[in-house]
């Protein structure tokens, strides 16, 4: 059975899902958008600011699950505008340094008008 992962230092799920689940030694995070946990709102209006918040949120979820970005094996990234790809990569690359497998696609819309969403798969010991 999968263990649900939850932390108050990342945004609560905005639907019927968990922030992450742990199955064996694998962590599957739900997609994170740039919601600031303290306010429940997206405060950044540009791709850099939103990407920074997304990565902070993911860091907190991974920490709660007993792992970190160095143990990420796969990411899936969603951009509202593919023209933001280069700017997104600048911030993403500050956090994801081990170069895991990745998919990055543009989508029509993201929840709450977000510009970026990222989900990861990581391992623990």
Beta-bridge partners for 42: 35
Measure CA 27 to chain center: 12
Catalytic site includes residue 104: yes
Of residues 21, 44, 104, 121, which has the active-site annotation?
104
First to last CA, the chain: 18
Polymer length of the chain: 125
Q: Tell me, which fold does domain 3-123 have in CATH?
A: 60s Ribosomal Protein L30; Chain: A; (3.30.1330)
Q: What is the pLDDT of residues 68-116, one digit of tens each?
A: 999 999 999 999 999 999 999 999 999 999 999 999 999 999 999 999 9
Query: Is there a contact between 71 and 96 (Cβ–Cβ < 8 Å)?
Result: no
10-19, 29-38, 69-78, 107-116: range with lowest mean pLDDT: 10-19
Is pTM beyond 0.85 here? yes
60 Rama class: left (phi>0) / alpha (psi -120 to 50) / beta: alpha
Q: Which tokens belong to 122?
A: 């990581």
CA distances from 14 to 31, 37, 86, 89 (A): 11, 12, 28, 26
CA distances from 18 to 30, 33, 34, 59, 104 (A): 7, 14, 16, 15, 22
Residue ranges covered by each domain of the chain: 3-123
């Amino acid at each position: 059975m999968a263990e649900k992962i939850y932390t108050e230092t990342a945004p609560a799920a905005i639907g019927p899902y968990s922030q992450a689940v742990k199955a064996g030694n694998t962590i599957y995070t739900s997609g994170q958008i740039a919601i600031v946990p303290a306010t429940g709102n997206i405060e950044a209006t540009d791709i850099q600011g939103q990407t920074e918040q997304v990565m902070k949120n993911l860091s907190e979820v991974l920490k709660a699950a007993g792992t970190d970005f160095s143990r990420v094996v796969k990411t899936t990234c969603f951009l509202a505008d593919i023209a933001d790809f280069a700017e997104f990569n600048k911030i993403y690359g500050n956090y994801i340094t081990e170069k895991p497998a990745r998919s990055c696609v543009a989508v029509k819309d993201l929840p709450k008008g977000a510009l970026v969403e990222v989900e990861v798969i990581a391992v623990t010991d």
